[in-house]
Amino acid sequence: MKLTAKPEEIQRRITLALVLEPLADKPGCTTRYVDLSPEHKLVDFETAAVNAAPYFGELARRIQRTKTQPPFYDLCYQALAGSTKNLKNEKYLNFGLLEVLFPLVLAEQIYGGKGAVVCRNVIKVLKQSGPKDLVYKDLTRNLAWSTSRNRAKQELQQLKLQIQTSSLYDEYLRNIPDRRAAGLKTSVLWLEQFVLGLPVLQAMYGSAKKRVGKAGLIAAMELAYKVGMKKIPKRGIIADYCAAVAYLLLADPKTKI
């Protein structure tokens, strides 16, 4: 399958997006000005970014080697597992970023398009996912939640799905009622965005695209954060989306930091 960019370029864009996102001034988050907590230091986010990026280069090479959409969630798992390398902090910080960016890169490289089109095509990627993706999705979630202090997440981590699902899209739909029943409101919002084609991310990208030419990428992300928070006032979700906004904007070689 032919890529719209070389694997090295995709990895470079991912690296920049993941490294620059924590630098943006986003109230309530770790930024270049403040660490949110001892478990959320800027250096931890930056190190995790560099550690995770090579797996996106491998994703691109995997796409090149296949004629159809390849399995990808095993790479997401490896990226998360390797994200804490060389860090004293063993908390997994970038699960959300990875969960958005892996299907986003697939959507961009398989179906083409830019910005909002790529976001909407994530639905196609989720529907075309297979059994291996489902297995590694659960493994990745459990790994991420193993270092979470959220008790509801810890309890839900132990549950086994009683209903067999055929794709990630189907699983997200089936998981929404379970997460709602467990009181995981943020998780419900997260899953709903995926099955709807990431509409909030689309809105954030649209506002950032208008700003980036004059103000640069970091300022564009800061504006996107404000736009996203008005739609879903959940700092973690919107901060993760900012990295996706950066990746999409970096597809344009004219984008400057």
Q: What is the pLDDT of residue 216?
A: 98
CA 111 – CA 88 distance, rounded (Å): 40
Q: Is the Cβ–Cβ distance between 153 and 110 less than 8 Å?
A: no
Ordered structural domains, the chain, with CATH: 7-249 (1.10.4200)
Torsion of CA 95, 136, 84, 5, to 10 degrees: -70
- Residue 109: is its pLDDT beyond 90? yes
CA 158 – CA 39 distance, rounded (Å): 24
- Residue 186: is its pLDDT beyond 60? yes
Q: What is the pLDDT of residue 164?
A: 62
pLDDT in tens, 63-85: 999 988 999 999 999 999 999 99
CA 18 – CA 93 distance, rounded (Å): 12
